[in-house]
Structure 1
Amino acid sequence: MSAPSIQEIQWDLDPLLNPKSIAIVGASETSFFSSLLMQNLRHFGFDGAIYPINPKYKEVAGLTCYPSLADIPAAPDNVAIIVRRDLVLKTVEDAIAAGARSATIVSAGFGETDEPEWLHVEEQIRDLSVKHGFPIMGPNCLGTISTHRNVGALTAPIRGGLHKGNIALVMQSGGLLQGLAMPFYQRGIGLSYAVSSGNNMSLDLSDFIDHFLDDPNTDVICAYVEGFKQPEKFKRVAQKALDLGKPIIVLKVGKSEKAAQATLAHTGSLAGSDSVINAVFEKYGVVRVADFDDLIETSAVFASSTDRIELPAGSGIGVLSGSGGSVSLCSDLSEEYGVNVPGLAPETKQKLIDALPPSAIVLNPVDATAQILNDFELYRTTMRTLSEDPNIGVVLYLMALGLASNDVPRHQKLLEIVIDVAKTIDKPLVITSLMSHSLDDWQREFLSNHKEFAYTQGIGKSLKAIQSLIDYNAAYHRNIRRVAGPAPANATRREKALAYLASVGRAVLTEHETKKLLAIYGIDTSKEVRVETEDEAVKAAEAIGYPVVMKVDSPDILHKTDAGGVKVGVGNAEDVRKAFRDIIESARHYNADADILGVLIQEFISGGSETIIGVTSDPQFGPSVMFGMGGIFVEVFEDSVFKVPPISAREARGMVESIKGYKILRGTRGKPALDIDALITALQAIGAMVDELSDVIEEMDINPLIVLPEGKGVKAADGLLVVRRSDG
Structure 2
Amino acid sequence: MNKKDNLKRLLAPKSLAFIGGRSMAQSARRCLESGFNGEVWLVNPKYPSLEGMDCIASTFQLPKAPDAVFIGTNRALCLEAVKELAQIGAGGVICYASGFAEAGEAGSALQQELLQSAGDMALLGPNCYGLLNYLHSAALWPVAHGGKAVEQGVAVLTQSGNFAYNLSMSERSLPIAYMASVGNQAQLGFAELMEALLDEPKVTAIGLHLEGLRDVAAFARAAFKALEKGVPIIALKTGVSPIGAELALSHTSSLAGSDALYDALFTRLGVIRVDTPSRFIETLKVAASGQKIKGTRLLALACSGGDAGLIADGAYRHQLALPALSQAQKSALQQVLPDYANIANPLDFTTAIWGDQPALEQMLNSALPAETDAALLVLDYPSEQSGERYMCDLLLDCYCQALKRHGKNGFIACNLPEFLPESARERLHAAGIPALQGLDDALFAWASLARYSSTAEMLLTQGEAALPPLPPAPINGRGKAALDEWQSKQALKAFGLPLPQARLCTPERAASAAAELGYPLALKVVSADLPHKTEAGGVALNLDNEAELQSALQRMQQSLAEKAPNVPFEQILLERMAEAPLAELIIGVKREEGFALALVIGSGGILVELLKDSLSLLLPTTDAAIERALLNLRIAPLLLGFRGRAAADMPQLIAAIRAIADYACTHAGNLLELDVNPLLVTATGAVAVDALIRLAD
- In structure 1, what is the equivalent of residue 361 of structure 2? 377
Instruction: Give per-residue Cα distances to partners, 1:479-536, cap 9 Å, x unaligned.
Output: 44x17559999xxxxxxxxxxxxxxx9732222222223223322122212112422x
In 1, are the aligned partners of 2:481 and 2:694 still within 8 Å (CA)?
yes
Distance in 1 between residues matched to 2:162 and 2:540, nearest whole Å: 61
What residue identity is the alignment partner of 2:18? I
2:268 to 283, 306, 319: 283
Please point out which of 107, 112, 120 is paired with 2:97.
Answer: 107
Cα 1:676/1:197, change in 2 over 3 Å? same
Aligned-pair CA distance for 1:448: 4.4
Describe the shift of the 1:259–1:231 C-alpha distance in structure 2 as closer, same or farther (beyond 3 A). Answer: farther
Listed as ranges, the gaps of 5+ residues in structure 1 are 490-504
Count of residue pairs the alignment pairs up: 677
Q: Does 1:340 align with 2:325?
A: no
Q: Which residue of 2 aligns with 1:499?
A: none
- Residue of structure 2 equivalent to 1:717: 689
Task: State the Cα distance separating 1:598 from its structure 2 match.
Answer: 2.0
**Aligned partners of 2:407 and 2:638: how far apart in 1?**
40
Higher alpha-carbon deviation: 367-376 or 286-295: 367-376
1:66 matched residue in structure 2? 56
TM-score (norm 2): 0.90
Counterpart in the other structure of 1:496: none
- Aligned partner of 2:346 in structure 1 is 365
Aligned residues of 2:70 and 2:141 also touching (Cα < 8 A)? no
Q: 1:36 to 1:581 in 2, by over 3 A?
A: farther
Aligned-residue sequence identity (percent) comes to: 29
The answer to whether structure 1 residue 540 and structure 2 residue 513 are counterparts is yes
Q: Is the 8 A contact 2:237 2:273 kept in 1?
A: yes
Question: SS at 2:42's partner residue?
Answer: strand
Please say if residues 187 and 447 of structure 1, whose CA atoms lie closer than 8 Å, have aligned partners that are also in contact.
no
Q: Which residue of 1 aligns with 2:9?
A: 15
Distance in structure 2 (CA, Å) of the matches to 1:518 and 1:57: 73
Query: 2:485–2:690: 8 Å Cα contact kept in structure 1?
Result: yes
Contact 1:383/1:395, CA 8 A, preserved across alignment: no
DSSP 3-state at the match of 1:529: strand
> In 1, Cα distance between the equivalents of 2:290 and 2:262?
26
Bigger Cα displacement from structure 2, 166-175 vs 15-24 = 15-24
Matching of residue 39 in structure 1 with residue 29 in structure 2: yes
Displacement of 1:420 after TM fit? 2.3
Q: Report deviation, 1:235.
A: 0.6
Aligned letter for 1:653? E
Distance 1:230 1:427, change over 3 A: farther
| Deviation of the 1:667 alpha carbon | 4.0
In the other structure, the counterpart of 1:144 is 131
The Cα offsets for residues 375-397 of structure 1, whole Å up to 9 and x where unpaired, read as 123332244223xx1xx333222
Q: What letter is aligned with 1:349?
A: S
SS of aligned partner of 1:694:
coil
Give the aligned partner of residue 473 of structure 2.
none
Q: 1:487 to 1:93 in 2, by over 3 A?
A: closer
Taking structure 1 as reference, are residues 12 and 70 closer, same or farther at Cα in structure 2, changes over 3 Å only? closer
TM-superposed deviation, 1:349? 2.7
Given the alignment of the two structures, is residue 552 of structure 1 paired with residue 529 of structure 2, yes or no? no
Report the residue type matching 1:447 in the other structure.
Answer: L
2:300 to 290, 302, 319: 319
**Distance (whole Å) between structure 1 residues aligned to residue 249 and residue 117 of structure 2:** 41
Q: Does 1:252 pair with 2:228?
A: no
From the superposition, tell whether residues 292 and 637 of structure 1 become closer, same or farther in structure 2 (CA, over 3 Å): same
1:127 & 1:594 partners in 2: Cα distance? 55
The equivalent position to 1:175 in structure 2, one of 156, 159, 162, is 162
RMSD over equivalenced CA pairs, Å: 2.9
Deviation, structure 1 residue 670: 6.0
Distance 1:90 1:487, change over 3 A: closer
Taking the TM superposition and a 5 Å limit, the aligned residue runs for 1:256-655 are 256-258=241-243, 260-307=245-292, 310-311=294-295, 315-335=296-316, 338-344=317-323, 348-357=325-334, 358-370=339-351, 373=354, 374=356, 375-386=359-370, 389=371, 392-401=372-381, 408-425=389-406, 427-437=408-418, 440=421, 442-451=423-432, 453-480=433-460, 482=461, 507-535=481-509, 537-580=510-553, 582-583=555-556, 586-587=559-560, 590-591=563-564, 594=567, 598-608=571-581, 609-631=583-605, 634-655=608-629
For residues 229-248 of structure 1, the aligned pairs below 5 Å read 229-248=214-233
Alignment partner for residue 206 of structure 2, among 202, 217, 221?
221
- How far, CA to CA, are the matches of 1:696 and 1:423 in structure 2? 59
CA shift for structure 1 position 640: 1.6
Give the secondary structure class of the aligned counterpart of 1:543. helix
Q: What amino acid sits opposite 2:61 in the alignment?
A: D
Shift of 1:663: 2.7
Q: CA deviation at 1:614?
A: 1.4
CA–CA separation in structure 2 for the residues paired with 1:72 and 1:520: 67
List alignment gaps of at least 5 residues for structure 2: 469-478
| Residue type at the aligned position of 2:305 | G
Match of 1:494 in 2: none
Q: Contact 1:647/1:683 (CA < 8 Å) preserved in 2?
A: no
1:165 to 135, 152, 163: 152
| One-letter identity of the residue aligned with 1:37 | S
**For 2:526 and 2:464, how far apart are their aligned partners in 1?**
38
CA contact (8 A) 1:228 1:620 kept: no
Task: Answer with 70-79 or 101-110: which moved more.
Answer: 70-79
Q: Letter of the aligned partner of 1:88 in structure 2? A: C
Give yes or no for contact 2:467–2:620 (8 Å, CA) kept in 1: no
Question: Deviation at 1:630?
Answer: 2.1
Q: Would the alpha carbon gap of residues 433 and 217 (structure 1) be closer, same or farther in structure 2, given more than 3 Å must change?
A: same
The 1-side partners of 2:177 and 2:120 are apart by: 25
